[in-house]
Structure 1
């Protein structure tokens, strides 16, 4: 069955690729982006690829933008918009941590509440939260981001149980991508070096950290988004999606092993 799907954070990376994949499968896709510039760029790509997307600006942190979704007959909401931040919890400014939580958790839940109102009335719908395998195990120096995804995964699992109690044919699922080469991971890990100075506890370790991060991504990152997008499509089209969809699969296995070992 073809569905009306709204995806946030569709201006680049996984969100953009998922929007195109879903449209190519015949769904109507509202591909929302943070800025008008992103909207214009995405529209140009639609023309070049001859793919139909309904594109508009939706900064999920703005109430005025969130109100745009209230009258849309959304069958599937894909909460993909998110930001990253890195740095040791011993010294990272709490304003930076709060910003990550504001986008990745609070604004995401506010948008979800707005969309759920229509889903409950129509007695059908699916909400997907794009979390991360970084929300399954603690990642040193990425904890501002990792904590927000821990919280988002917990919220998704809890909301799923609540919607099951409501018995309105509304389903909640988590998409948990691993490391994928979109540039997001590099921008996130580099963010701490914009404010770390000689007063940082880790100043003397910064070059070593940079080398370790580079090696880690070279080993772990999937070269493209296909495995993650495939899981997003599967969850969006399922009559009753399961709780978690993890990709790339080998990274999910690594996380399971780490949790078994008590990491």
Structure 2
């Protein structure tokens, strides 16, 4: 069945690939992107792919942009827009931490609330939060992003219970590490402010941690999974992908119960 699907953060990465993939499947896609150059770029890619898609500029942190959501009617809302930055929690600028929460938590919830109000009025709908393996897992030098996604998991769980009486479904999608450039940019950001003459964290340990970027999965695989899951009327609350990532998430949760200080 064809659905009308609203997705934020569709200007890059998994969001862009999923928006195009859903449109190719015949769904009516409303794709919001952060800035005007991304509007032009995505419209051109949709044209080249031979698909129709509504594309407009909506920076989710901008209240005036958020209001533009009110113009649209849709069946499914995908809260995909997010940012990432790495670095040691003891030394990363607090401005970076606050910005991550502003985008990944506060503004994401604000847009989800707009969608929720629409769905309550219709007495049906589905909200999908793009979480991450970091919504359950956490490790050194990746705590900023993990903290924001842990918060998003709590929001999704709570909202899921609160929306049941209105026939509104809530779910998360939790990708593993996929090669879209998103994780690479996050790893690079910390070197903009880090100074080994000033900061106490070992740069060698951070560089060693960054080597994990060499084993990321092909983005096309995650895009295909998102295109499969998002339109479905029924599926698990959490979709972690690939299976290796799902297994790692379960294992870490169990290990945390047994871990000694």
The TM-score, its normalising length taken from structure 1, stands at 0.93
Residue number in structure 2 paired with 1:30:
30
Aligned equivalents of 2:236, 2:158: Cα separation in 1: 14
Contact 1:171 1:241 in 2 (8 A): no
Give the drift of 1:208.
4.3
Give the drift of 1:185.
0.4
Give the direction of change, closer, same or farther, for the CA distance of 1:94–1:208 in structure 2 (3 Å limit).
closer
Residue number in structure 2 paired with 1:50:
50
Give the direction of change, closer, same or farther, for the CA distance of 1:170–1:153 in structure 2 (3 Å limit).
same
Offset from partner CA, 1:102-126 (integer Å, 9 cap, x none): 0000001101111211111111100
1:116-195 residue pairs with structure 2 within 5 A? 116-164=116-164, 167-195=165-193
1:91-102 residue pairs with structure 2 within 5 A? 91-102=91-102
DSSP 3-state at the match of 2:71: coil
1:1-263 residue pairs with structure 2 within 5 A? 1-164=1-164, 167-197=165-195, 198-202=197-201, 205-214=202-211, 216-219=212-215, 221-226=216-221, 228-262=222-256
Offset from partner CA, 1:192-235 (integer Å, 9 cap, x none): 11101121112xx3144224312x1223x102232x22332333
Contact 2:32 2:56 in 1 (8 A): yes
DSSP 3-state at the match of 2:32: strand
DSSP 3-state at the match of 1:174: strand
Aligned length: 256
Aligned equivalents of 1:118, 1:130: Cα separation in 2: 20
The more displaced of 144-153 and 231-240 is: 231-240
Offset from partner CA, 1:1-26 (integer Å, 9 cap, x none): 21110101111110011001111111
DSSP 3-state at the match of 2:172: strand
Offset from partner CA, 1:18-52 (integer Å, 9 cap, x none): 00111111110011100000111111111222121
Aligned equivalents of 1:144, 1:225: Cα separation in 2: 26
Unaligned runs of 5+ in 1: none
The TM-score, its normalising length taken from structure 2, stands at 0.94
Shift >4 Å, 4+ stretches: none
Contact 1:22 1:29 in 2 (8 A): yes
Contact 2:33 2:39 in 1 (8 A): yes
Aligned equivalents of 1:49, 1:95: Cα separation in 2: 39
Unaligned runs of 5+ in 2: none
Give the drift of 1:238.
2.0
Contact 2:141 2:206 in 1 (8 A): no
Aligned equivalents of 2:86, 2:44: Cα separation in 1: 33
Aligned equivalents of 2:219, 2:69: Cα separation in 1: 30
Aligned equivalents of 2:67, 2:51: Cα separation in 1: 26
